[in-house]
Amino acid sequence: MIRSPAEGAPFASRSLRKVVALLQHDVLIVGSGLAGMRAALEVAEDPTLDIAILTKVHPLRSHSGAAQGGIAASLNNSSDEDSWELHMYDTVKGGDYLVDQNAAEILSREAPENIFELEHMGCAFSRYDDGRIAQRRFGGHTEPRAVYAADRTGHALLTVLFEQLLKRGVKVYSEWYALDLIIKDEVCQGLVVYDILSGQLETIAARGVMFATGGYGRAFRVTTNAFASTGDGVVMAYRAGVPLQDMEFVQFHPTGLQGSGILLSEAARGEGAHLVNSEGERFMERYAAERMELAPRDIVARAEQTEIDEGRGVTELGDSVFMDLRPIGEERIRYALPSVMHLAQDFAGIDSLKEPVPIQPTAHYSMGGIPCDVDGQVRYKDQDDKPVVGFYAAGECSCVSVHGANRLGTNSLLEAVVFGRRTGRAMREQIGDLEPTRVTEGDMERAVAEVARFREGADGSERVGAIRSDLRDLMTEKCGVFRTDAQLNECLSGVKELQGRYGSAAIDDRGTTFNTDLLDAIELGHMLEYSELIVVGALAREESRGGHARHDFPTRDDEKWFKHTLAYRDEDAPRLEYSEVNMAPAYRDPYPIEERKY
Amino acid sequence: MPQQTFRLQRYDPVDERSYEQEFTTEVQPGQTVLDALNDIRWDQDGTLSLRMSCRHAICGSCAMKVNGSSMLACKTQVSAAQSRAGAEGVITVGPMGNQPVIKDLVVDMDGFMDKFEQAETWLKPPEGQEPPTREYRQLKDNFDHWAHASTCIHCGACYSDCTVTEVDDKFLGPAALAKAYRFVMDDRDATKEERLKMLSGMEGGIWDCTRCNMCVQACPKDVLPMDAIIELRTAAISAGYTNNNGSRHSKAFAGGVKKRGRLDEATLVPLSLGFAPTAIPDVLSYLPGAIRLLKSRKLIEAAKRHGAPKQARQEIKRLFEEVQDEKQHHDLDAESFAALHEEANKTR
């Protein structure tokens, strides 16, 4: 745990402008990706509710827009065999059974109506000749159920939701940064926020606060994640006393561009791309003979890493394998995978029509996050499973948990809209019954000290960029696709050492206007705090399941580890507890745990 | 490792001072301009502010001017920028144009974003009609027709380089108009006519573009904003929205050329502005210019060049006929397309 060196620092700081509780709303949503915007539209259905979205980047910059391949729904537009049950089964099995089955059931049952709703809003989905929405195959899904917009599906969805937001005139605090979540007596009161433009700190009181703040993949050197994906929401919740669930489960996507880790969509494999090692072998044959390249991501990523570790990697560095698009054919590549083609060209100088692309596993998705129920209500998950009254979460920052130990491709966009919508509805129905909130100047103390420490404090001996760079190297090397006890212990002490160095970090920019130096420093604090939770959870979990693979415990151990991890913030170190996996879907029997083969 | 010098155009909001500052940093093969700027920020000077997020050309955060042209820093290889660098091989980087600078490379994009709201860029399905229980049937041909325009990432690069926006901040600009185009063409939208009427009649609408093509060059995606604007003009005229200066100008221009084989400057202004009583002040406002032209004998020169030689006139006439034929074919295509679409929706 980080002991913020700012704690106890002199509070009085004349130049730091701060305003208490002038701003208030009934509902305040933090984050403007798919989950946040979808929820906002739902709340806005009740015109008597005063609602606002707060986001550190303009809504159209949100990382949902980077999702490429598709969004799953059993529409049966390309098949007669699909059903929500099959979708649910694929999701449960894909998640290596650590999936809450009540949530997976909702996800798959509500998928089609959500897709049609988005289509009616004007989403630019790719079509068949007869005008129906087109669907393609995706890893771990038995049937072709990925609805898509070429290979820019997230962008199409983000755009259409923003259009609807604009139409409704929903208030957006764009380029405002949330610093602290205020919870008193287990009731959420609002937020401490920072206006990036003016550099001013304020509170916003709100009876309902929803986090849709995205994932935490930036702690890894090789990652698909945007600079913004620094786990701010999960850390704010954690600091406010909420546990974090299953943090050790980080998905490594099999096809990141070598070096940068930039995402090349799984749609490429869905359309028929091959994975090939240095010997020219389609190696997936040895790992998942039936599904081959379209096995779930955890299995493909492990296979690639094994090929690389055993010396069958490609390029001079030997740290990657090839993805060969050529079997798909030029015309189809140009039509269905233009972004993949352009990314290979623009970011690696490779003409994917003519040669294979070197790719490697890349940190992609955060399965863990803020524990909540199927209506977005955040829960303490203690003995009474108390709700955090007025606090909600959806999307990647949350852990419902529909993805369990490994998310299937196309289920993340779906999760964001299905549970964003449900959370919005729940807030709309519940907020009117909640008490008015209490926000005082004292609630700003930690945030004021944090900002003052960097903006007005002494020069430090450490640069933020150097600490961050070391953290990312450490996490990719010691807490990557494969983990061992020794590596994780090294990683943990490394993270702690970096937390110590962070104590003497300083920044250059002491200004108030658009101070990105300051935000970098605050975000690094978040990364250091949640990285410890990833490692601690991974160290404790002595088995291999989904995205968490241990060389020293290579098999799944259901007897000991069929349970969710919960990390609570104690005085000196995180305290781990565990909770049961939900096996009670409403409309059918649960799928029993089986051996996972593809 | 090779060194590269960047000349950054900076802005200090406290002193309200613009200045240039040079930084030299090591660059590796494959590095982007954004990578280099981040190396500068993280290793040398943390006070340098810029926007960025996804680093792979989809979030639209990091548009800026590199060597004077607007582009995404994350998508621009340093090596590519080097080839267009100045004499000493220095790469210049500055904030986008046509928008107020907040700090360094960060500009105030509110004006740009407001234009989308003004252009009402959201789907307007048929009013008072429940949507189908499943998806709207949308023929692949229709989707393919406008899908490229839906790839806009709202980065502002086109707006930054737009030569009309530079002189007229009411102009909706290339991005908002391209997005309006996407809804005019989307057959799920029930307000094609109203949209065309608004876009052709409003101040800052489709007729204010000068077709300089800067937006097409700046766009990091495949949006082709200028082409979209041109297609909107054609659609507006076809739909009968001709009571505006833009379409009258276009008609007078073409009419003059068709008739005389060359531009008829003497009639262009009155024909463009129209003969409605409300147009009189506008027509009169051109008088001082016309008098100056008269004084410098330019109008007389123009009148003397009354027409093109006969042979050229015949050739021009033939060209007009050819275009007319093309257009009729196109309209036929459109009709059969509409019929197909109706058929598809019947089987919904």
Task: Establish whether A297 is a catalytic residue.
Answer: yes
For residues A371 and A356, state if they share a domain.
no
The domain boundary, picked from A308, A341, A362, lies at A362
The domain boundary, picked from B198, B220, B241, lies at B241
Averaged over B183-191, what is the pLDDT?
97
Task: Quote the pLDDT of residue B256.
Answer: 81
Task: Quote the pLDDT of residue B262.
Answer: 77
CA distance A194 to A205: 14
For residues A229 and A284, state if they share a domain.
no
What confidence tens digit (pLDDT) does each residue in B211-225 have?
999 999 999 998 999
B60 lies within 8 A of chain A by CB:
yes
Averaged over A560-585, what is the pLDDT?
96
What confidence tens digit (pLDDT) does each residue in A376-390 have?
999 999 888 899 999
Confidence (pTM): 0.93
In chain A, residues with a C-beta closer than 8 Å to the C-beta of B59 are: 57, 60-63, 65-66, 226
For residues A465 and A431, state if they share a domain.
no
Task: Quote the pLDDT of residue A2.
Answer: 34
pLDDT at A1 over 50: no
Averaged over A43-54, what is the pLDDT?
97
Contact assignment for A122 to B153 by CB distance below 8 Å: no
CA distance B49 to A280: 46
Which residues, in sequence order, are CB contacts of B134 under 8 Å at separation 6+?
Answer: A75, A116, A132, B348
Task: Quote the pLDDT of residue B223.
Answer: 97
For residues B103 and B86, state if they share a domain.
yes
Please count the residue pairs, one from chain A and one from chain B, whose beta carbons lie less than 8 angstroms apart.
170
pLDDT band for A310, please (50, 70, 90 cuts). Answer: very high
The pairing of strands A135-136 and A398-399 is: unpaired
For residues A155 and A302, state if they share a domain.
no
Task: Quote the pLDDT of residue B260.
Answer: 79
For residues A357 and A209, state if they share a domain.
no
**Candidates A152, A207, A297, A596; catalytic one:** A297
Contact assignment for B186 to A122 by CB distance below 8 Å: yes
Task: Quote the pLDDT of residue A14.
Answer: 38
pLDDT band for B344, please (50, 70, 90 cuts). Answer: low
Contact assignment for A124 to B135 by CB distance below 8 Å: no
For residues B114 and B232, state if they share a domain.
yes
For residues B94 and B22, state if they share a domain.
yes
Task: Quote the pLDDT of residue B335.
Answer: 63
Name the residue range of residue B193's domain.
Answer: 110-241
Is residue A405 situated within a structural domain? yes
Burial A125-156 (b: 16+ CB within 10 A, else e): bbbbeebbbbbbbbbbbbbbbbbbbbbbbbbb
CA distance A543 to A549: 7
In chain B, residues with a C-beta closer than 8 Å to the C-beta of A121 are: 123
From A417, A362, A98, A359, select the one nearest A247 (Cα to Cα): A98
pLDDT at A9 over 60: no
For residues A420 and A494, state if they share a domain.
no
For the domain that residue A304 is a member of, what is the CATH number? 3.90.700.10
For residues B8 and B86, state if they share a domain.
yes
For residues B144 and B233, state if they share a domain.
yes
Alpha carbon of B55: minimum distance to chain A alpha carbons (Å): 7
For residues B214 and B146, state if they share a domain.
yes
Averaged over A55-64, what is the pLDDT?
98
In chain B, residues with a C-beta closer than 8 Å to the C-beta of A348 are: 30
Q: Which of B151, B159, B342, B346 to mutate to test the interface with A (most CBs of A within 10 A)?
A: B151
pLDDT band for A446, please (50, 70, 90 cuts). Answer: very high
For the domain that residue A470 is a member of, what is the CATH number? 1.20.58.100
pLDDT band for B40, please (50, 70, 90 cuts). Answer: very high
What confidence tens digit (pLDDT) does each residue in A241-262 have?
999 999 999 999 999 999 889 9
The domain boundary, picked from B241, B268, B288, lies at B241
Is residue A581 situated within a structural domain? no
pLDDT at B274 over 90: no
Task: Quote the pLDDT of residue A13.
Answer: 38
Is residue B12 situated within a structural domain? yes
pLDDT band for B278, please (50, 70, 90 cuts). Answer: confident
In chain B, residues with a C-beta closer than 8 Å to the C-beta of A349 are: 30
A396 or B291, greater pLDDT = A396
pLDDT band for B295, please (50, 70, 90 cuts). Answer: confident
For the domain that residue B121 is a member of, what is the CATH number? 1.10.1060.10
Is residue A215 situated within a structural domain? yes
For residues A105 and A219, state if they share a domain.
yes
For residues A30 and A152, state if they share a domain.
yes
| Domains contained in chain A, number | 3
Is residue A13 situated within a structural domain? no
For the domain that residue B63 is a member of, what is the CATH number? 3.10.20.30
Name the residue range of residue A548's domain.
Answer: 455-559
State the first-to-last Cα distance of chain A, in angstroms, to the nearest integer.
40
For residues A480 and A555, state if they share a domain.
yes
The domain boundary, picked from A306, A336, A362, lies at A362
Task: Quote the pLDDT of residue B112.
Answer: 97
Is residue A184 situated within a structural domain? yes
For residues A112 and A202, state if they share a domain.
yes
The domain boundary, picked from A399, A419, A441, lies at A441
For residues A506 and A545, state if they share a domain.
yes
Is residue A592 situated within a structural domain? no
Residues in chain A: 598
pLDDT at B346 over 60: no
Averaged over A184-193, what is the pLDDT?
96
Task: Quote the pLDDT of residue B29.
Answer: 87
CA distance A34 to A395: 8
Task: Quote the pLDDT of residue A493.
Answer: 98
pLDDT band for A5, please (50, 70, 90 cuts). Answer: very low
pLDDT at A160 over 90: yes
Is residue B120 situated within a structural domain? yes
What confidence tens digit (pLDDT) does each residue in A224-241 have?
999 999 999 999 999 999
Q: Percentage of residues in chain A with pLDDT exceeding 70? A: 96
Averaged over B173-177, what is the pLDDT?
98
Q: Say whether B96 sits in a helix, a strand or coil.
A: coil
For residues B155 and B41, state if they share a domain.
no
Q: B32 with B77: CB under 8 angstroms?
A: yes
For residues B7 and B55, state if they share a domain.
yes
A172 or B324, greater pLDDT = A172
pLDDT band for B143, please (50, 70, 90 cuts). Answer: very high
For residues B199 and B181, state if they share a domain.
yes
What confidence tens digit (pLDDT) does each residue in B81-110 have?
999 887 789 999 999 999 999 999 999 999
For residues B87 and B114, state if they share a domain.
no
| Domains contained in chain B, number | 3
Is residue A345 situated within a structural domain? yes
- Round the average pLDDT of chain B to a whole number and report it: 90
Is residue A2 situated within a structural domain? no
